[in-house]
Structure 1
Amino acid sequence: MMPKINLLPLSQDGLAKILEREKVLFVNMQRSGGEKGVLVMTWIPTDGRPLSDEAMAMAKKNFMTASENLSLFHRMRMLAAYDELTGLYNRRVGKTRLNEEISRSQRRGSPLCAAMLDLDHFKAVNDTFGHQAGDRVLRHVCRVFRECLRAEDILIRYGGEEILAVMPGTELEDARDILERLRESVAEEPLNHKGRCIPVTVSAGAAKLHEAEDGPNDAGSLVALADRRLYMAKQKGRNQVVCFDLE
């Protein structure tokens, strides 16, 4: 008799239906993204006989092994796809997601923008307050980014303190408005670290796919143009958003 293993959402209705079964084992677990769930095993005798103690012990052992393996699988998937410090996509997976969005944009004929964001004077934060504070600042800023951007937008830790934002269905003018709100929100929310206030600002450069006839038409050229405009924002004095080439 083989047990049936299901991964179901943790809901009252779902558990009520499960607990109606005669034999149930379940383990609460944390899924990727913080969603709680339960791993449930149910078995129904096909011959009408109750499950023996020996079979019960074996099923329980197999069940616990399965639940541990599933938890490990979700953990490994998280480590493979997300940056551990910020919770954003890592660069490898992020580049795949960017290419997927570019393909979707080209198929549908819809706009797509990408923005490169960078924390201003981040080295000074690490040198003055320590790397632990620097990590807290980076996590804090990424939280503000997530709050300011839309659910469909994608955030990628591109390298160090550089964050790439991918904004599907967005014109360059709209991207500028979004990034300005983001920049202002970061500047208005300094981080308190052990009683010391750490002011934080960000600079950003944005570009649009097929912005012009000779504009970016793939992931590499799109990111390169956004990065070049980020450099312009730094040159202008930081805490700036640049979405168009400067004369």
Structure 2
Amino acid sequence: MSQITTITFFRYTTFFNKVWAFGMMQFAHSPLKKVNGLQDYKLMGSGKDGFDPFADWSVYALLQIWENEEAANNFFATSNLMKRYLERTEQRYTLFLKNTKSRGFWSGKNPFVESDTFSQNNPFIAVITRATIKIGSLNKFWKYVPTSQRPLAGNNGLIYTKGIGEVPFLQMATFSIWKDEESLKQFAYKSKEHARAIVKTKELDWYSEELFSRFQPFKSIGKWKGIDNLPF
């Protein structure tokens, strides 16, 4: 059985639960380090809609990289840590992913291993992009973000997107789900704004580290507005 990745989104509605979720960005490390079959993980907050760098205090994300699907299933079924999260959340959604392509580095390494099992009848693509922005480039980078993200508005091929990250403004990632490969290519290669962003990245050397990774989503647990209709 090959490596899989899961990403779990949690939504909180009350003030006290939002404070608890913020605290777990620190306190969840200890139990996560003891989980059997868990190769790596990232605890992340999220930004407001539209890839806004300012925090969305209601949504947090947990990215986990597993030795195999069995280890992931066992965690979500029996973990006391997950039970604690679910007692506080208004909504939870976990998406299971098989890596199809990955390049770059995240915290000094590329943690994703390409899967050897894919479904030919599953056209959906999930994408994670992550970057550490150089402190001297923060102002120029965030000033250009609204322009580079403009083609996402009303994009029929985009099912869902959310800005996530470990450190606001500095260590940022995007998670997105697309209907198929052609939809992703239309945005990545045929959007003038996005193409210009790629050129600027090379010209201005914004990042000290970056990673781009594609996945095939194949299974889900829970509900989340915008992703509920995926046929898993």
TM-score tier, shorter chain, comes to 0.3 to 0.5
Q: What TM-score do the two structures reach when normalised by structure 2?
A: 0.35
Q: Which has the larger radius of gyration?
A: 1
- Structure in which a larger fraction of residues adopt helix: 1
Q: Which has the higher contact order (CA 8 A, sep 6+)?
A: 2
What TM-score, normalized by structure 1, do the two folds share?
0.34
